[in-house]
Chains A and B, each alone.
Chain A
Amino acid sequence: MSAERDRGFALVVGSAIVSLLLVGAYLAAGGSSYAPAKTQNPCKPRPWRNPEGLQQLAEQFSLSALDGAACELGVSRETLARALATPAARERFAKRYGIGEAELAKAIRAGLLRAVDDAERAGALNPLIADPLREAVRSIPLPEAIELVRDARTLLDNLQSFLGPAQSLLEQFLP
């Protein structure tokens, strides 16, 4: 009877140890944190990587604009990026979050303004280019604003090629 009880006790204790070992090993291997990476709050400033060349500048500009617009709308930068991928995606996004065209346009313009500010602050955009860009952004229609977020290269290229010589000229006359 005592041997029977001992075997029963050993079975219970052994089972508890094996179970704890398994759970402990999985915890130690990172089981409690195996989840998708958390996305960053778009309202918090993101470090502006030093852009080399127009393509990188345009990309950094787009990411900053996305952050600004997402912050304005109260969604993640990633959700907004997917919403702007296609007109159908934009429609679904508008329906899901109850956001109208006017609200979206306002948010994207705010995002673009933040991108101009960020670029200027990071020294990536000359003030001579930044100011007219701000003016342009304030009244830009929604489709063009979205296009600008998706790919700002053309606009930045045009502004630089237009204002670049003017800037050189001014620099010659100004102290």
Chain B
Amino acid sequence: MSPAPPRPRLAALAIAVGLVLADSSIVVLALPEIYRQLDTSVAGVTWVLVSFNLVIALTAVPAAHLARRVGPGRAAAVGLAVFAGAGLACAASSQLSTLIAARCVQALGGAAAVTAVLELLPATVGSERRAATVWAAAGATGAALGPAIGGLLTQLVSWQSIFLVQVPIALVAAVPILAVARHEAATGVLSAELRRTGRPHLLANLALAMVSAAIAAALFLLVLLLIEGWALSPIGAALVVSVMPLSALLGSRSGGFVPDAKSRAAAGALLVSGGLGGLALLPKATIALTLPPQILVGVGLSLVLSALTETALSGRAPQAIHGGWTISARHAGVVIGLLALTPIFTADIAQQRHDAIDAGTAVILDSKVPPLTKIDLAQRIEDRLEGERGKVPTIGPAFDPLPSDPAEREAVVQLREELQDQLDRGATHAFSASFGLAALLGLAALLPIGLARRVEL
């Protein structure tokens, strides 16, 4: 019995990697919807992301060892089946705790599949170096595309559809891999290939963790800013953040002109930090101003993730184990980024909400609107603030209906604009410190990248 032909098998393996690694970020745009439907807190809903990344970080290396023991074809097929089954459980969850538990199981299956695939790729593409490139590119593409796809599905169908869509894709990808598993069972060829495991590339993996923390922050914070801060719909936010994967595609093409992986890694880290620095210093609450920073982050992430993954895998055997280390480092970075920044930005949101409301009240008190209109407006705004407790308020409806007197109407409209400006300022500024810290994390990654230039581990 022979394994599946190379082309469908390559497609299946790349899809499996892309699908699993997209899952670390695919729910980002659905988080506000999950937050509302499951009636939880911002910190609580973050665990839908954190749990998946944490379990992958902890189990990627053991899963790679297991894959080599039981055969990568079998491990990948079982991993994808577990991933799909847990996806169904995620979609059926009506409570945050069950959703998080299902996400943990999904991560277990994902870790097994994605590390086993790296062991299967060399036989499909002809060399370990080419396998590492394909594997890294599929992972970077999945991670970059995840949020946009998740946003589209959330808006067009529901957040549950994100998990349901993954089920048939995972099963289709598992079909050619099953053929490999049957081949393994028939020939027992892989048990003969067990080799001693070398040390992981410490500096490349450390840099991967730092950069991944910065990139996760970029995606997560930008989505929250767009949806919760600027009141965009998930589909609107998905369109806006799709600039990042498009730029990542551009970056992956231009990266081919520079074979030196360490230069690409340093350039990528600089671009990610520059983009995050731009997001920390947005001079106005306008979508257009998020585009240049996103382009920098997108190009940067494709350069740095693929360069560091290739460096971590280069000349190291077995590939699955070292691939497991890179997966572990990336997801640990995501977890650290989310856990470190969540308390900072939730505190900042609360503070900025308070400051913005105070500034808006000052605008009302000092405005030229007649006192009785002010009192009436103050009451309606207070009601809205109470109704949208804990969130950045949408103030527009508090001004409806507008006064019939033209002069008073004009004064009220001007007041509404000034008030909205204060709220926009608060919503945008609430994310500045977190984006700034993420930019510093990206810059800090230059240290291990720079050291790796001289000390080749």
> Does A158 interact with chain B (Cβ within 8 Å)?
no
Identify the stretch in A7-15, A107-115, A121-129 within 8 Å (CB) of chain B at 4 or more residues.
A7-15
Q: Which residue of B lies closest to A56 (CB)?
A: B371
Report chain A residues within 8 Å CB of B284.
29, 34
Name B365's contact: one of A77, A86, A89, A153 (CB within 8 Å).
A77
Residue of A12, A14, A63 with highest tally of chain B CB at under 10 A: A12
Task: Provide 25 A-B residue pairs closer than 8 Å at the C-beta atoms, listed in order of the A residue.
Answer: A8-B260, A12-B266, A15-B267, A16-B270, A18-B274, A20-B274, A26-B281, A26-B282, A29-B284, A31-B281, A31-B282, A34-B429, A36-B356, A36-B360, A36-B425, A36-B429, A37-B422, A38-B355, A59-B371, A78-B361, A82-B361, A82-B381, A82-B385, A89-B386, A150-B375
Cα A5 to Cα B261 with chains together (Å):
11
State the Cβ distance, A84 to closest chain B Cβ, in Å.
Answer: 8
Q: Is the CB of B274 within 8 A of A34?
A: no
Name A81's contact: one of B264, B361, B383 (CB within 8 Å).
B361
Cβ < 8 Å to B, chain A residues 10-54: 11-12, 14-16, 18-20, 22-23, 26-27, 29-32, 34-40
Q: Is the CB of A85 within 8 A of B274?
A: no
Q: Mark B354-365, 1 if CB is under 8 A from A, else 0.
A: 011111111101
Q: How large is the interface on A (under 10, 10 to 19, 20 to 34, 35 or more residues)?
A: 35 or more
Cα A23 to Cα B270 with chains together (Å):
12
Cα A79 to Cα B357 with chains together (Å):
9
Q: Is the CB of B260 within 8 A of A23?
A: no
Residue of A22, A76, A86 with highest tally of chain B CB at under 10 A: A22
State the Cβ distance, B375 to closest chain A Cβ, in Å.
Answer: 6
State the Cβ distance, B25 to closest chain A Cβ, in Å.
Answer: 23
Q: Which residue of B lies closest to A32 (CB)?
A: B281
> Does A55 interact with chain B (Cβ within 8 Å)?
yes
Name B371's contact: one of A36, A38, A151 (CB within 8 Å).
A151
> Does A116 interact with chain B (Cβ within 8 Å)?
no
Q: Is the CB of B362 within 8 A of A78?
A: yes
Known contacts A19-B270, A19-B275; decide if A35 and B293 are in contact (CB<8 Å).
no
Cα A98 to Cα B380 with chains together (Å):
25
Report chain A residues within 8 Å CB of B259.
4
**Additional pairs, 6, CB under 8 Å, beyond known A79-B358, A79-B361:** A8-B262, A18-B274, A22-B275, A29-B283, A35-B429, A62-B371
Known contacts A82-B382, A150-B375; decide if A36 and B278 are in contact (CB<8 Å).
no
Q: Mark A75-115, 1 if CB is under 8 A from B, else 0.
A: 01111011001101100100000000000000000000000
State the Cβ distance, B123 to closest chain A Cβ, in Å.
Answer: 30
Q: How large is the interface on B (under 10, 10 to 19, 20 to 34, 35 or more residues)?
A: 35 or more
Q: Is the CB of A18 within 8 A of B362?
A: no
> Does B277 interact with chain A (Cβ within 8 Å)?
yes
Known contacts A9-B263, A62-B371, A63-B365; decide if A36 and B358 are in contact (CB<8 Å).
yes
Q: Which residue of A lies closest to B370 (CB)?
A: A55
Cα A34 to Cα B271 with chains together (Å):
23
Cβ < 8 Å to A, chain B residues 250-286: 257-260, 262-264, 266-268, 270-271, 273-275, 277-278, 280-284
Q: Which residue of A lies closest to B372 (CB)?
A: A151
Cα A16 to Cα B289 with chains together (Å):
20
Report chain B residues within 8 Å CB of A22.
274-275, 277-278, 292-293, 296
Q: Is the CB of B282 within 8 A of A34?
A: yes
Q: Is the CB of A35 within 8 A of B355?
A: yes
Cα A66 to Cα B257 with chains together (Å):
66
Cα A36 to Cα B426 with chains together (Å):
5
> Does B352 interact with chain A (Cβ within 8 Å)?
yes
State the Cβ distance, A164 to closest chain B Cβ, in Å.
Answer: 22
Cα A26 to Cα B371 with chains together (Å):
39
Q: Which residue of A lies closest to B428 (CB)?
A: A34
Report chain A residues within 8 Å CB of B283.
26, 29-31, 34
Report chain A residues within 8 Å CB of B293.
22
Q: Which residue of B lies closest to A80 (CB)?
A: B361
Cα A16 to Cα B277 with chains together (Å):
12
Q: Is the CB of B264 within 8 A of A11?
A: yes
Q: Is the CB of A36 within 8 A of B382?
A: no
State the Cβ distance, A47 to closest chain B Cβ, in Å.
Answer: 11
Report chain A residues within 8 Å CB of B318.
none
Cα A63 to Cα B362 with chains together (Å):
10
> Does B379 interact with chain A (Cβ within 8 Å)?
yes
> Does B317 interact with chain A (Cβ within 8 Å)?
no
Q: Is the CB of A86 within 8 A of B382?
A: yes
Cβ < 8 Å to A, chain B residues 398-457: 422, 425-426, 428-429, 432
Known contacts A36-B356, A85-B378; decide if A11 and B426 are in contact (CB<8 Å).
no
Q: Is the CB of A37 within 8 A of B281?
A: no
Report chain B residues within 8 Å CB of A92.
386
> Does B79 interact with chain A (Cβ within 8 Å)?
no
State the Cβ distance, A175 to closest chain B Cβ, in Å.
Answer: 38
Q: Which residue of B lies closest to A9 (CB)?
A: B263
State the Cβ distance, A46 to closest chain B Cβ, in Å.
Answer: 10
> Does A58 interact with chain B (Cβ within 8 Å)?
yes
Q: Is the CB of A35 within 8 A of B425?
A: yes
Report chain A residues within 8 Å CB of B289.
26
> Does B300 interact with chain A (Cβ within 8 Å)?
yes
Cβ < 8 Å to A, chain B residues 337-363: 352, 355-363
State the Cβ distance, A66 to closest chain B Cβ, in Å.
Answer: 8
Cα A62 to Cα B375 with chains together (Å):
11
